[in-house]
């Protein structure tokens, strides 16, 4: 191919990508409708259609993604003062919508009171994906018609304590009252605490509450000495739920492993693959230095991995039944994983969380993107 033709091709791709990222006003001519969007039902069209064969078909026919979220845990998913759902999980849902529909705004958030309720809603196909601080466990994976995708946040059960208690490790809580919230039964947070207590002989008093709000009240009244929950949730609640956040401390040590991942319907490998690869695209973009701020300049990047990720080189769309530029639309809409983490949970947020295990593997974390090729 001549240099002139190569330049023309790159210019055409750039125009298409920028239009998809909401920058159409900068372009002189309209772009054709992508092949994947052709044939979409129009307003007034007969709605008596055959049941969609796949989740992707259902989402496209409906015109928006139904995403199950916590809805009350700031930093992960909670409405801002204007009523817009914000957080890491909320932005992940937007990333899936950008991939599936080409538009990150085409998502409706469906609040789920508990993880179990969310999994039931997913099994009943009332939602398309559950992104609700859900730990991947054997019984959740094998016990329902749902399946986890890729881990988007590595967490662990931790403890929030009053600074006045002057402890630096949960092993110093001997004889104290530790409180947790949730449904009773095996495999719960309570079971984690009981196991920890048994291993270390701490003689803890373990109390269960129905809701985190009840524990906050008990902590401030002094009837609970420690609040046990996932560390990410504790970091959020310390800032948003306690009247004097600086009087409380989330201990660094955790007592369990809690890999949090979105869940989807079991048996739809195409949809599972789409949600799985959205996660790895976000991680891979961060690793390769591609962000929402530099997409245009990276369209001509010397590294073919970058050009393929952005759709300049073909290949990443067809296996998922997506346009080749789906990666550019995702990154342009929500940023890479690092951008999402920092604005919702990290230094750019009120929580100031360290990346820790959620950092890239090159910086000591566990986040390792599978090759998008």
Contact yes or no for 254/192 (Cβ under 8 A) = no
Average pLDDT of the chain is 88
Predicted confidence at residue 10, as pLDDT, reads 47
Per domain, the residue ranges of the chain are 9-22+54-153+260-363, 157-256
Strands (E) across the chain are located at: 65-69, 78-79, 85-86, 107-111, 129-130, 146-148, 153-155, 157-162, 177-181, 205-209, 226-230, 248-250, 258-260, 263-265
Position of tokens 């109390």? 207
Contact yes or no for 21/332 (Cβ under 8 A) = yes
Dihedral sign, CA of 34, 65, 232, 244?
A: positive
Strands 226-230 and 263-265: unpaired
User: How far out from the chain centre does Cα 79 lie?
Assistant: 15
What would the mean pLDDT of 241-247 be, rounded to a whole number?
96
Which secondary-structure segment (H or E) carries 367? none
Please provide the size of the chain in residues: 373
Minimal CA–CA distance to 150: which of 92, 94, 100?
92
Q: What is the CA radius of gyration of the chain?
A: 23
Burial of 30 (0-12, 13-18, 19+ CB in 10 A): exposed
Q: Which residues contact 192 (CB under 8 A, 6 or more apart)?
A: 157, 228, 255, 256
Query: Is pLDDT at 33 greater than 70 in this prediction?
Result: no
The dihedrals phi and psi of 129, each to the nearest 5 degrees, come to: -155, 145
Position of tokens 């196909």? 125
Per CATH, which fold does 9-22+54-153+260-363 belong to?
A: D-Maltodextrin-Binding Protein; domain 2 (3.40.190)
Query: Is pLDDT at 195 greater than 50 in this prediction?
Result: yes
Confidence of residue 189 (pLDDT cuts 50, 70, 90): confident
Q: Which residues contact 324 (CB under 8 A, 6 or more apart)?
A: 311, 313, 314, 315, 316, 317, 318
Burial of 315 (0-12, 13-18, 19+ CB in 10 A): exposed
Predicted confidence at residue 182, as pLDDT, reads 85
Query: Is pLDDT at 113 greater than 60 in this prediction?
Result: yes
Query: Is pLDDT at 232 greater than 50 in this prediction?
Result: yes
Tell me how far apart the alpha carbons of residues 265 and 12 are, in angstroms, rounded to a whole number.
Answer: 37
Q: Model-level pTM greater than 0.75?
A: yes
Minimal CA–CA distance to 134: which of 297, 263, 302, 257?
263
In sequence order, what are the beta bridge partners of 69? 111
298-320: pLDDT as tens digits = 999 999 999 999 999 999 999 99
Predicted confidence at residue 296, as pLDDT, reads 94
Tell me how far apart the alpha carbons of residues 339 and 88 are, in angstroms, rounded to a whole number.
Answer: 10
Q: Give the number of other CB atoms < 10 A from CB of residue 114.
A: 14
- Residue 36, classed as helix, strand or coil, is helix
Pick one of 3.50.50.60, 3.40.190.10, 3.10.290.10, 3.90.209.20 as the CATH number of 157-256: 3.40.190.10
Tell me how far apart the alpha carbons of residues 290 and 320 are, in angstroms, rounded to a whole number.
Answer: 21
Count, in order, helices (H) and strands (E) of the chain.
13, 14
Complete DSSP assignment for 63-108? TSEEEEE-SSBTTTBEE-TTS-EESHHHHHHHHHHHHHHS-TT-EE
Predicted confidence at residue 81, as pLDDT, reads 95
Contact yes or no for 93/129 (Cβ under 8 A) = yes
Query: Is pLDDT at 243 greater than 50 in this prediction?
Result: yes
How close are the terminal C-alpha atoms of the chain, in Å? 23
Q: Give the number of other CB atoms < 10 A from CB of residue 23.
A: 13
Q: Give the number of other CB atoms < 10 A from CB of residue 129.
A: 30
Confidence of residue 5 (pLDDT cuts 50, 70, 90): very low
Query: Is pLDDT at 223 greater than 90 in this prediction?
Result: yes
Query: Is pLDDT at 122 greater than 50 in this prediction?
Result: yes
Query: Is pLDDT at 373 greater than 90 in this prediction?
Result: no
Confidence of residue 183 (pLDDT cuts 50, 70, 90): confident
Contact yes or no for 55/69 (Cβ under 8 A) = no
Query: Is pLDDT at 46 greater than 70 in this prediction?
Result: no
What would the mean pLDDT of 192-212 be, rounded to a whole number?
95
Predicted confidence at residue 3, as pLDDT, reads 42
Confidence of residue 51 (pLDDT cuts 50, 70, 90): low
The larger pLDDT score, comparing residue 260 to residue 51, is at 260
């Amino acid at each position: 191919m001549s240099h002139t033709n190569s330049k023309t091709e790159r210019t055409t791709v750039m125009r298409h990508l920028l239009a998809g990222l909401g920058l159409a006003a900068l372009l002189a001519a309209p772009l054709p409708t992508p092949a994947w969007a052709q044939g979409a039902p129009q307003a007034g069209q007969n709605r008596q259609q055959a049941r969609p064969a796949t989740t992707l078909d259902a989402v496209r026919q409906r015109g928006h993604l139904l995403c199950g979220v916590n809805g009350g845990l700031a930093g992960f998913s909670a409405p801002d003062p204007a009523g817009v759902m914000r957080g890491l999980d909320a932005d992940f849902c937007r990333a899936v919508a950008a991939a599936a529909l080409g538009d990150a705004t085409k998502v409706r958030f469906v609040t789920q009171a508990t993880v179990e309720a969310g999994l039931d809603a997913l099994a009943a196909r009332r939602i398309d994906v559950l992104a609700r601080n859900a730990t991947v466990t054997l019984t959740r994976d094998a016990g329902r018609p749902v399946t986890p995708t890729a881990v988007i946040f590595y967490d662990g059960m931790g403890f929030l304590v009053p600074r006045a208690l002057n402890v630096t490790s949960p092993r110093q809580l001997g004889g104290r009252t530790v409180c947790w919230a949730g449904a009773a039964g095996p495999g719960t947070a309570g079971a984690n605490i009981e196991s920890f207590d048994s291993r270390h002989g701490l003689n803890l008093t373990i109390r269960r509450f129905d809701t985190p709000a009840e524990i906050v009240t008990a902590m401030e009244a002094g009837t609970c000495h420690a609040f046990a929950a996932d560390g990410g949730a504790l970091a959020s609640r310390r800032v948003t739920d306690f009247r004097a956040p600086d009087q409380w401390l989330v201990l660094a040590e955790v007592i369990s492993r809690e890999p949090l991942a979105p869940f989807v319907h079991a048996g739809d490998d195409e949809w599972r693959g789409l949600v799985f690869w959205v996660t790895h695209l976000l991680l891979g973009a961060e690793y390769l230095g591609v962000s929402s701020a530099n997409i245009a300049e990276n369209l001509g990047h010397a590294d073919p991995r970058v050009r393929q990720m952005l759709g300049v080189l073909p290949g990443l769309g067809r296996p998922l039944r997506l346009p080749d530029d789906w990666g550019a639309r995702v990154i342009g809409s929500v940023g890479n994983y690092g951008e999402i983490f920092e604005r919702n949970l990290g230094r750019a947020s009120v929580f100031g969380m360290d990346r820790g295990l959620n950092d890239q593997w090159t910086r000591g974390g566990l986040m390792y993107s599978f090759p998008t090729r």
